[in-house]
């Protein structure tokens, strides 16, 4: 009897082991397939260059490069459809922002006195018969818009908006524009353009922050570093941001300041969000809405940056990545960007 039970138990155990083995083999294949799938999607390239990051853009299938809205070989129906898709996409961005703002308003970051009491600077742009309000985020399509506005002879005025602002005064501007970009891309772009590029005449960002970073991580006297010799690694640049998140009189430098702080998207009711990842189409639609028949924006070529992004973040220590995620958490969430560090994709 005992022996009989023992045998059943043994067989049962063996059966369990076999089931477990089969299961893990299946799981392994499932993983490979999933990984392979996302990878090929990743490499496929798109207008975004970082497609996976744009969750809200995936639904609308915009990744199939809606081309420039100006003259092309498209039929009229195709143009109408494109316009409808873009309109829907922009509406989805607004809806998402509204939804995540509810969460954000309960957060520590939103209630932080440095954020709530600080006034922000918005641009008033007088263009044709329109006067619009624009939160011009640097390293996120700012210069393209600025150049286009200049080309159109628009008048730009900086407005200081404090948080006791009258809602009426803001909604008096019927077009309230905000430009954003995937925060991982923006950081990389800021590093190359604002710290590493030897601009002449000297730029304040490289001269001040590049120098400070170099002095700190290379143990040098900042006064003895020549402007031309400023050279820090991407990791050092990021480390400086996470170790000194309040380095500019309590705030980050404007080229990498968070959107939630520089534009207050949950207090200022923006109604037009353009993304760098789809800048040409977004801007084309924007100017069409303003009544321009010919797109003044021109084509901005977007290269596939996914690979470069992955390479640049690959060697950044995970403790820095984690802290960056904390610092930019709400920027990722509010605008539907993938929070996952690029090298994990």
Ligand X SMILES: *[C@@H]1O[C@H](CO)[C@@H](O)[C@H](O)[C@H]1NC(C)=O
Enumerate binding residues for ligand X (CB under 6 A): 72-73, 131, 168-169, 172, 231
Q: Which residue has the tokens 């990021």?
A: 238
Among residues 3 and 168, whose Cβ is nearest to ligand X? 168
Among residues 166 and 293, whose Cβ is nearest to ligand X? 166
Among residues 98 and 169, whose Cβ is nearest to ligand X? 169
Among residues 170 and 257, whose Cβ is nearest to ligand X? 170
Among residues 182 and 295, whose Cβ is nearest to ligand X? 295
Q: Rounded to the nearest whole angstrom, what is the least distance from the CB of residue 233 to ligand X in the complex?
A: 8
Q: Rounded to the nearest whole angstrom, what is the least distance from the CB of residue 170 to ligand X in the complex?
A: 9
Question: Buried b vs exposed e over 117-154: b needs ≥16 C-beta within 10 Å?
Answer: eeebebbebebeeebbbbbbbbbbbbebbbebbeeeeb
Among residues 152 and 165, whose Cβ is nearest to ligand X? 165
Among residues 54 and 63, whose Cβ is nearest to ligand X? 63
Q: Rounded to the nearest whole angstrom, what is the least distance from the CB of residue 120 to ligand X in the complex?
A: 17
Q: Rounded to the nearest whole angstrom, what is the least distance from the CB of residue 166 to ligand X in the complex?
A: 7
Q: Rounded to the nearest whole angstrom, what is the least distance from the CB of residue 63 to ligand X in the complex?
A: 18
Measured over all CA atoms, what is the biggest interatomic distance in the chain, rounded to whole angstroms?
98
Among residues 101 and 165, whose Cβ is nearest to ligand X? 165
Q: Are 274 and 62 in contact (CB under 8 A)?
A: no
Q: Rounded to the nearest whole angstrom, what is the least distance from the CB of residue 174 to ligand X in the complex?
A: 9
Q: Rounded to the nearest whole angstrom, what is the least distance from the CB of residue 316 to ligand X in the complex?
A: 16
């Amino acid at each position: 009897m005992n022996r009989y039970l023992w045998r059943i138990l043994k067989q049962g155990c063996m059966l369990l082991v076999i089931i477990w083995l089969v299961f893990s083999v299946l799981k392994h294949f499932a993983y490979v397939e999933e990984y392979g799938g996302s990878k090929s999607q990743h490499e496929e390239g798109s207008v975004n260059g970082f497609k996976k990051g744009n969750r809200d853009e995936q639904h609308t299938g915009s990744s199939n490069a809606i081309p420039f809205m100006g003259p092309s070989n498209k039929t009229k129906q195709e143009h109408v459809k494109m316009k409808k898709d873009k309109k829907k996409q922009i509406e989805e961005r607004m809806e998402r922002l509204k939804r995540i703002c509810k969460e954000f308003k309960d957060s520590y970051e939103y209630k932080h006195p440095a954020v709530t009491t600080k006034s922000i600077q918005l641009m008033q742009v007088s263009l044709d018969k329109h006067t619009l309000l624009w939160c011009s985020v640097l390293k996120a399509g700012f210069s393209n818009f600025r150049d286009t506005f200049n080309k159109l002879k628009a008048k730009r005025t900086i407005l200081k908006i404090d948080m006791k602002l009258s809602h009426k005064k803001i909604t008096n501007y019927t077009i309230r524009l905000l430009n954003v970009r995937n925060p991982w891309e923006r950081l990389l772009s800021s590093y190359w353009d604002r710290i590493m590029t030897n601009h002449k005449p000297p730029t304040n960002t490289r001269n001040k922050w590049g120098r400070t970073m170099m002095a700190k991580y290379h143990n040098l006297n900042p006064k003895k570093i020549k402007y031309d010799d400023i050279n820090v690694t991407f990791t050092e640049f990021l480390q400086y941001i996470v170790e000194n998140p309040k380095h500019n009189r309590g705030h980050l430098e404007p080229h990498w300041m968070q959107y939630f702080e520089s534009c207050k998207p949950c207090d200022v009711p923006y109604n037009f969000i353009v993304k760098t990842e789809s800048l040409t189409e977004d801007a084309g639609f924007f100017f069409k809405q303003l009544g321009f028949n010919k797109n003044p924006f021109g084509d901005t070529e977007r290269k596939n940056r996914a690979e470069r992004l992955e390479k640049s973040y690959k060697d950044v220590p995970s403790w820095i990545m984690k802290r960056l995620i904390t610092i930019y958490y709400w920027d990722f969430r509010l605008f539907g960007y993938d929070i996952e560090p690029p090298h994990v994709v």
